[in-house]
């Protein structure tokens, strides 16, 4: 194939390795999926070319391909969160808990009532959410900025209650002051839609805390994440952006084993871009980091289903979550915890049964 920067996308997924010859399938990221081939992609100034190679015939000599293959099949380390451990060998559900007046889906539901918000978070955990992702500032397009002190007042009382109840919490924020306050209150993970770029001090907060962090892609993280851009190849361009961002964050003192990535579905991307990213999600395992997929109730579901309103996007949300699980996403960030957990349990049951024959 033509020279250029190389990428590997696992393809030809199979239900079980049973019955396949040695070396013909490999386990994806130490999880519950096996794959039998790679799409080898090359990108250079002349465009994109690709070829499909069965694993049985995959014998790379190029150092980058060797590195990518090792990253793709390596098990993802568990996340150690104080006394809690999140194992990443199967898809986990993260429940969305917004304490905002204006979030696109559930704004105002839990505003100004920390006790009720915490009860909702405890309910998510009881329903099977591995963690609860709490946010005090809307990231929808056009949402007004929230003052740091106001955001802290919204999230900290809820986090304190959830931590006392033994619920694992992540803080959805781009502000270093909010990160620090939330971590002190009991949050264990930082989930930043700006990938620690909105404020230069954010990366130091995460490095000093030694906590896991989710780095999400967006075209303009310093401006809110919803600027539009034109991609020549959205899949590899988002991959490159995350690859560079991981390297910068590691250089700033964050352990690579504590970095998760999010392709940023719906943030400055067209419907075609979002579909390409979801269909090509397995490419991102080459980064060697766990993948968080956030597609719950998003605009693309309405665009594909006769403009269904936010309150009528459960079916589409579950379909996308299961697609993410199928392609190896380790964390599924959702509003509808009970229904998604049930869907994932059934999906897992099918896979467990396939393995035993």
Q: What is the pLDDT of residues 272-306, one digit of tens each?
A: 999 999 999 999 999 999 999 999 999 999 999 99
Secondary structure letter of residue 323 according to DSSP? H
Instruction: Characterize the bridge pairing of strands 292-294 and 5-14.
Output: unpaired
Mean pLDDT, the chain, as a whole number? 93
Of the residues 76, 298, 313, 351, which is catalytic?
Answer: 298
User: Which residue do the tokens 């994440």 mark?
Assistant: 225
User: So what's the pLDDT on residue 229?
Assistant: 78
206, two tokens: 């995460």
Secondary structure letter of residue 310 according to DSSP? G
Q: CA–CA distance from 205 to each of 183, 210, 216, 281 (Å)?
A: 10, 9, 17, 29
Active site residue 333: yes
Q: Please say if the pLDDT value at position 2 is more than 60.
A: no
Tell me the average pLDDT across 168-188: 98
Q: Output 346 or 109, whichever has higher pLDDT.
A: 346
User: So what's the pLDDT on residue 103?
Assistant: 54
Does domain 79-356 correspond to CATH entry 3.30.1490.190?
no
Summarised one tens digit per residue, pLDDT across range 62-106 is 999 999 999 999 999 999 998 889 999 999 999 999 998 855 556
Tell me the average pLDDT across 54-60: 97
Rounded Cα distance between 266 and 281, Å, is: 14
Tell me the average pLDDT across 139-159: 90
Q: What is the CA radius of gyration of the chain?
A: 20
Q: For the chain, what are the domain ranges?
A: 5-73, 79-356
Rounded Cα distance between 357 and 353, Å, is: 6
User: So what's the pLDDT on residue 140?
Assistant: 75
> By CB neighbour count within 10 A (0-12 exposed, 13-18 middle, 19+ buried), where does 30 fall?
middle
User: So what's the pLDDT on residue 356?
Assistant: 64
Active site residue 323: no
User: So what's the pLDDT on residue 158?
Assistant: 98
Rounded Cα distance between 213 and 203, Å, is: 9
User: So what's the pLDDT on residue 304?
Assistant: 97
Half-sphere exposure of 105 (CA within 13 A, CB side): 22
Of the residues 333, 345, 348, 351, which is catalytic?
Answer: 333
Q: Please say if the pLDDT value at position 192 is more than 60.
A: yes
User: So what's the pLDDT on residue 1?
Assistant: 52
Summarised one tens digit per residue, pLDDT across range 4-27 is 899 999 999 999 999 999 999 999
Rounded Cα distance between 74 and 96, Å, is: 29
User: So what's the pLDDT on residue 282?
Assistant: 98
């Amino acid at each position: 194939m033509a020279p250029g920067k190389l990428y590997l996308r696992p393809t030809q997924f199979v239900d079980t390795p049973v019955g396949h010859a040695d070396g013909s399938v490999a386990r994806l990221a130490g999880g519950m999926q096996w794959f039998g081939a790679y799409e080898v992609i090359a990108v250079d100034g002349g465009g994109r070319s690709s070829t499909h190679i069965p694993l049985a015939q995959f014998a790379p000599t190029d150092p980058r391909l060797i590195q990518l293959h090792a990253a793709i099949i390596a098990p993802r380390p568990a996340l150690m969160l104080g006394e809690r451990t999140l194992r990443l060998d199967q898809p986990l559900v993260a429940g969305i808990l917004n304490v905002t007046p204006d979030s696109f889906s559930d704004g105002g539901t839990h505003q100004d009532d920390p006790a009720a918000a915490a009860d909702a978070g405890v309910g998510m955990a009881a329903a099977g959410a591995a963690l609860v992702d709490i946010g005090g500032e809307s990231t929808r397009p056009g949402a007004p900025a929230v003052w740091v002190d106001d955001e802290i007042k919204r999230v900290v009382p809820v986090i304190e209650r959830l931590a006392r109840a033994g619920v694992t919490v992540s803080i959805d924020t781009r502000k270093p002051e909010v990160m620090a306050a939330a971590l002190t209150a009991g949050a264990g993970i930082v989930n930043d839609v700006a990938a620690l770029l909105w404020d230069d001090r954010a990366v130091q907060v995460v490095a000093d805390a030694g906590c896991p962090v989710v780095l999400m892609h967006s075209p303009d993280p310093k401006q809110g994440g919803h600027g539009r851009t034109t991609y020549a190849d959205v899949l590899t361009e988002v991959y490159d952006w995350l690859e560079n961002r991981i390297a910068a964050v590691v250089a700033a003192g964050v352990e690579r084993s504590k970095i998760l990535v999010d392709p940023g579905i719906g943030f400055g991307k067209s419907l075609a871009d979002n579909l390409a990213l979801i269909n090509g999600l397995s490419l991102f395992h080459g980064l060697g980091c766990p993948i968080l997929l956030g597609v719950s109730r998003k605009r693309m579901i309405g665009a594909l289903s006769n403009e269904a309103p936010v309150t009528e996007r459960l079916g589409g949300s579950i379909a996308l979550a299961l697609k993410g699980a199928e392609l190896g996403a380790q964390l599924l960030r959702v509003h509808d915890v009970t229904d998604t957990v049930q869907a994932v349990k059934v999906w897992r049951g099918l896979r467990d049964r396939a393995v035993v024959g």
